[in-house]
Amino acid sequence: MRFVSSTLVLPFLALAAPLAAQKPLPEPRAGLAFQPPKGWTELPADCDRSATVRLFAGPNALASKKEGTHTPVLRVMYFAKGGDSSKDTVDGLPRTTPFRSLEDFAVRGLGAKNVDKAVQKAGGVDGQRITGSDFAVDHVLIGQTMPLPDGEAAICIEVLANHADKLKKEIDAVFASIEPVNFAATPRLSPPWRTDAEWAKKDAAARTAAHRAFAEQVVAAAAKAPETGYKVSKHKHWTVLSVADPAYTKKATAAAETAREWLAKKLPELAKGEPLPAVIRVFDNTIQYNAYLATRLNTREYEQDRRELLLVNDRDNGGSTGWGQTLRAVLWNLFDDVDAGVLPAMPRWFDNGCWEFLRSTKLDGKKLEFFAGDVEKGRIDYYRQKDQAMPALWDLMQEHMQPSPTDGTDEKVWGYTPECSRLMRWFLLHDGQAAFQKPTLVADYVKALGAAYWKVGADPTADVSLVGIGEAARKERNGRFYKWRDAMLVATNDVAVPLQPDTWRAINEKWLEFNKTFK
């Protein structure tokens, strides 16, 4: 249960450090130089199956009656020559193979059903003007390509269809600024667990060493070449890249440090030794943050492949109760340090329980207050008013109350987040772990997740593309995912909580009693 921060339609003004209208910016990875629109903010660009090498967001979330709000984004892209289209579909399911051209990106990446092409010169280069339309969403893609000896470079802007004409001058100015420069390919830093076929066979020490080496490389690369407008600083546990003002950056970093210190005391088994290098990425506002998330499939507050904790200066959600995102980012970072398999393996009850537990936590300076939020209290009060018992402990931890659909249909949003938040509260702040006679139950569960992930194997649908997927293929994909997820849960519970029925019933009585008396 992870939410994207709300966006607002704001006046046309830059909410972050604007990009100065100077000479075109050289981008050797795409073999061109270009000038982004004035006031647009640069974002991390490792997205779109690594085709996008630079990414920029407009200063405003624009509105559409058909879709709501969307922030226009500008992509600078490079597509390597070659590629095997026969691998785009495997076992009847579309796969996330590398894009081969801007046209291919418009169709397979964004779902355009119509692509118009016309030979056109832009700036100092000859190429094609590409217009993608008829998306599932109310968007239009306008791009300019440039042929390269080993592939194709492109600049494109994705915007709500009803705002394309309003941005025409800015779009045309970007295309007019294109100039060729010497192309220089830059190898992408890929996580070793995604490239090493023998990763699952390595022992824990070897995996940790390789994980640390990758973390050092990716953090050093981020600090060496930060995006335009981001300032780099070094703190106790993290390298900080921030486009927000210094006061908020300092406050957010201090909040992250406080959260890390608390977790190290509460879960010392997970925080042993020197943490792996990581980056705190601070966005200046929710418009930037949501534009960034729109280019990605994962909305978690931590980017595992980039080792980045994602924080945002949300001016509509401040004060001592506005630090849930920061607290969660630190927790996910800690879990990832333990084992790269933990985050993708987390079951619904554990993931959502952690999310809500930290969402309702107050942070005032260095003081953490773990009070139950209105969502959690409201659900518990409902059971009390109806004189109903809370869901049984084993039903929550084994997800019996909301089993995976058996017909491959899309599942409903997890419906027991408040109960799972209460369960995490019982474990971390009260006598829940002691009830299991396991004072390290939560830490043991996290470690079990990593072990189970490498035993069961990675999600077999992780490389399935959902863009434009048909109903039958979607059900097939869902069915394979549910089967894998259920196997992961069983494997984890068999290691972390292999209890007999009588033991479960005894612990459940303590769980129910806790909820009768705790407010």
The secondary structure of 466-505 as a DSSP string is -TT--HHHHHHHHHHHHHHHHHHHHHHHHHH----HHHHH
Contact 2, 300 (CB under 8 A): yes
Q: Which run of H or of E encompasses 511?
A: helix 501-517
Interval 47-93: pLDDT, tens: 999 999 999 999 999 998 888 899 999 999 999 999 899 999 999 99
Q: Which residues pair with 54 in a beta bridge?
A: 76
Cα maximum dimension of the chain = 77
Separation of alpha carbons 178 and 155, rounded Å: 9
Counting residues of the chain whose pLDDT is more than 70, the rounded percentage is: 96
pLDDT at 250: 96
CATH architecture of the domain with residue range 189-195+208-338: 3-Layer(aba) Sandwich (3.40)
pLDDT at 491: 97
State the average pLDDT over residues 311-335: 93
**DSSP state, residue 108:** I
Chain mean position to CA 126 = 37
Asked whether the predicted pLDDT for residue 14 surpasses 90, the reply is no
Interval 416-427: pLDDT, tens: 999 999 999 999
Q: Which of 184, 189, 188, 224 is nearest to 32 (CA)?
A: 184
State the average pLDDT over residues 328-343: 98
Counts for the chain of helices (H) and strands (E), in that order: 16, 21
Separation of alpha carbons 388 and 410, rounded Å: 29
The pair of structure tokens assigned to 492 is: 């984890």
**Surface-to-core class of residue 241, CB atoms within 10 Å of its CB (0-12 exposed, 13-18 middle, 19+ buried):** buried
The pair of structure tokens assigned to 95 is: 């796969």
Interval 204-257: pLDDT, tens: 999 999 999 999 999 999 999 999 999 999 998 999 999 999 999 999 999 999
Contact 243, 282 (CB under 8 A): yes
**Surface-to-core class of residue 492, CB atoms within 10 Å of its CB (0-12 exposed, 13-18 middle, 19+ buried):** buried
pLDDT at 214: 98
Interval 340-363: pLDDT, tens: 999 999 999 999 999 999 998 999
Length of the chain: 519
Q: b/e per residue, 62-91, with b = 16+ CB within 10 A? A: bebeeeebbbbbbbbbbbeeebeeeebeee
pLDDT at 7: 34
Which residues touch 85 (CB under 8 Å, ≥6 apart)? 100
Asked whether the predicted pLDDT for residue 196 surpasses 60, the reply is yes
pLDDT at 366: 87
DSSP string for 161-185: GGGTTTTHHHHHHHHHT-EE-----
The pair of structure tokens assigned to 473 is: 């293929």
Residue type, 4: V
pLDDT at 227: 97
pLDDT at 26: 96
**DSSP state, residue 50:** G
**Please, what is the average pLDDT of the chain?**
92
Q: What angle do CA 342, 343, 344 make, to 5 degrees?
A: 95
Chain mean position to CA 358 = 17
Separation of alpha carbons 279 and 296, rounded Å: 18
pLDDT at 10: 32
| Percentage helix, strand, coil for the chain under 3-state DSSP, each rounded to 5 | 40, 20, 40
Q: 20-34, 255-269, 451-465, 472-486: which has the minimum mean pLDDT?
A: 20-34
User: Of 15 and 183, which is predicted with more confidence?
Assistant: 183
SS3 375: helix
Separation of alpha carbons 465 and 300, rounded Å: 19
Under CATH, which number does the domain 25-180 receive?
3.40.1000
DSSP string for 223-243: HHSPPTT-EEEE-SS-EEEE-
- Reported as a pLDDT band with limits 50, 70 and 90, residue 20 is very low
Separation of alpha carbons 348 and 1, rounded Å: 8
pLDDT at 13: 31
Asked whether the predicted pLDDT for residue 22 surpasses 70, the reply is no
User: Of 269 and 3, which is predicted with more confidence?
Assistant: 269
Q: Left if phi > 0, otherwise alpha if psi is -120 to 50, otherwise beta: which for 457?
A: left
- Reported as a pLDDT band with limits 50, 70 and 90, residue 162 is very high
**Surface-to-core class of residue 24, CB atoms within 10 Å of its CB (0-12 exposed, 13-18 middle, 19+ buried):** middle
Helices (H), 17-146: 102-104
- Reported as a pLDDT band with limits 50, 70 and 90, residue 3 is very low
The contacts found for 187-192 with CB under 8 angstroms, 24 or more apart, are 188/46, 188/50, 189/214, 189/217, 189/218, 189/221, 190/305, 191/304, 191/305, 191/340
Chain mean position to CA 160 = 23
Could you tell me the residue ranges of all domains in the chain? Answer: 25-180, 189-195+208-338, 341-519
Contact 311, 251 (CB under 8 A): no
Counting residues of the chain whose pLDDT is more than 90, the rounded percentage is: 85
